[in-house]
Chain A
Amino acid sequence: MQWIRRFYASTIGKKVVMAVTGLLFTGFVVGHVSGNLLVYKSPQALNAYAAFLKGSAVVLWGVRLTLLASVALHAHAAYSLTLVSRRARPESYDQLDRQAGTWSARTMRWGGVLLLVFIVYHLLHFTVGSVHPSFSHTDVYTNVVTGFSVPAVAVFYIVAMLALAIHLHHGVWSLFQTLGINHPHTNRLRRVFATLLAGLVPLGFVAIVLGVVLGWVH
Chain B
Amino acid sequence: MNLTLRVWRQEHAQISGAFVTYPVSDINPDMSFLEMLDVVNEGLIARQETPIAFDHDCREGICGACSLTINGIPHGPNRATTACQLHMRFFADGDTIVIEPFRAKAFPVVRDLVVDRASFDRIIAAGGYVGVSTGSAPEANALPIAKAIADRAMDAAQCIGCGACVAACPNASAMLFTGAKVMHLGLVPQGQAERSDRVLRMVDQMDAEGFGGCTNYGECHEACPKEIPLEAIARLNGDYLRAALSSREEDAA
Binding site for B on A (CB under 8 A): 2-3, 6-7, 9-16, 81, 84-85, 87-101, 105-106, 108, 170, 173-174, 176-183
Instruction: Give CA–CA (A106, B239) in the complex, Å.
Output: 26
Q: Is the CB of B233 within 8 A of A177?
A: yes
| A126 CB to nearest chain B CB (Å) | 31
Q: In the complex, A87 Cα to B247 Cα: how many Å?
A: 30
Measured between alpha carbons, how far is A143 from B55 in the docked complex, in Å?
66
In the assembled complex, the CB of A3 is this many whole angstroms from the nearest CB of chain B, namely 6
Given A177-B237, A178-B237, A182-B230, residue A100 in contact with residue B222 (CB < 8 A): yes
Residues of A close to B100: CB separation below 8 A: 93-95
- Cβ of B53 within 8 Å of any chain A Cβ, yes or no, is no
Report yes or no: B244 in contact with A13, Cβ–Cβ below 8 A: yes
Contact B72 A97, beta carbon cutoff 8 Å: yes
Residue of B8, B175, B200, B217 with most chain A CB atoms under a 10 A cut-off = B217
The answer to whether residues A177 and B216 also contact, given A2-B250, A15-B237, A97-B71 and a CB cut-off of 8 A, is yes
When the two chains form their complex, are residues A85 and B172 in contact, meaning their CB atoms are under 8 A apart? yes
Q: Name B's A-contacting residues (CB within 8 A).
A: 6, 8, 19, 69, 71-73, 98, 100, 103-106, 168, 170-173, 175, 200, 203-204, 206-207, 210-219, 221-223, 230-231, 233-242, 244, 247, 250, 253
Contact partner of B244 among A3, A108, A177, A181, CB < 8 A?
A: A3
Chain B residues, Cβ within 8 Å of A96 = 69, 72, 168, 170
**Contact assessment for B171 and A85 in the assembled complex, using a CB-CB cutoff below 8 Å:** yes
Which B residues touch A177, using CB under 8 A? 216, 230, 233-234, 237
Q: Are B238 and A180 in contact (CB under 8 A)?
A: yes
Pull 19 A–B residue pairs with CB atoms less than 8 Å apart, ordered by A: A11-B203, A11-B212, A12-B213, A12-B240, A88-B106, A88-B210, A93-B72, A94-B6, A94-B72, A94-B100, A96-B72, A97-B73, A99-B223, A101-B170, A105-B218, A177-B234, A180-B235, A180-B239, A181-B234
Q: Which of A89, A105, A176 contacts B217 (CB 8 A)?
A: A105
Q: With the chains together, A178 CA to B171 CA distance in Å?
A: 16
B217/A100 in contact, CB under 8 A: yes
Are A15 and B244 in contact (CB-based, < 8 A)?
A: no
- Inside 8 A of B219's CB, which chain A residues have their CB? 98-101
Could you say which of A9, A11, A95 contacts B214, with CB atoms under 8 Å apart? A11
Residues in A with CB closer than 8 Å to B223 are: 99
Distance in angstroms between the alpha carbons of A92 and B104 in the assembled complex: 8
Given the contacts A85-B173, A87-B105, A182-B234, A15 and B213 also touching, CB distance less than 8 Å? yes
A98 to B204, CA, bound (A): 28
A7 CA to B250 CA, complexed, in Å? 12
Contact, CB under 8 Å: A12 / B69: no
A10 and B212 contacting across the interface, CB-CB below 8 Å: no
A81 to chain B, nearest CB (A): 4
Contacts of B6 in A (CB 8 A): 94
* Chain B: minimal CB distance from A98 (Å): 7
- The smallest C-beta distance from B46 to any residue of chain A, in angstroms, reads 28
Assess the B103–A91 pair: CB atoms within 8 A: yes
Give the residue among A6, A12, A170 with the most B Cβ atoms within 10 A: A12
Contact B168 A12 (CB under 8 A): no
* Chain A residue at smallest Cβ distance from B8: A94
Q: Which 4 A-B pairs have the closest CB atoms?
A: A180-B238, A182-B234, A88-B212, A11-B213
Q: Are B216 and A105 in contact (CB under 8 A)?
A: yes
Task: Point out the residues of chain B lying under 8 angstroms from A7, CB to CB.
Answer: 244
Q: Using CB atoms, name the residue of chain A closest to B222.
A: A99
Is the Cβ of B244 less than 8 Å from the Cβ of A84?
no
B44 to chain A, nearest CB (A): 21
Question: Other than the known A6-B244, A12-B240, what 11 A-B pairs have Cβ atoms closer than 8 Å?
Answer: A3-B244, A11-B207, A84-B213, A85-B172, A85-B215, A88-B105, A90-B105, A93-B69, A95-B72, A101-B170, A181-B234
User: What separation, in Å, do the CA atoms of A118 and B227 have in the docked complex?
Assistant: 40
Whether B216 lies near A85 (C-beta < 8 A) is no
CA–CA, A165 and B247, complex, Å? 38
A15 touching B210, Cβ below 8 Å: no
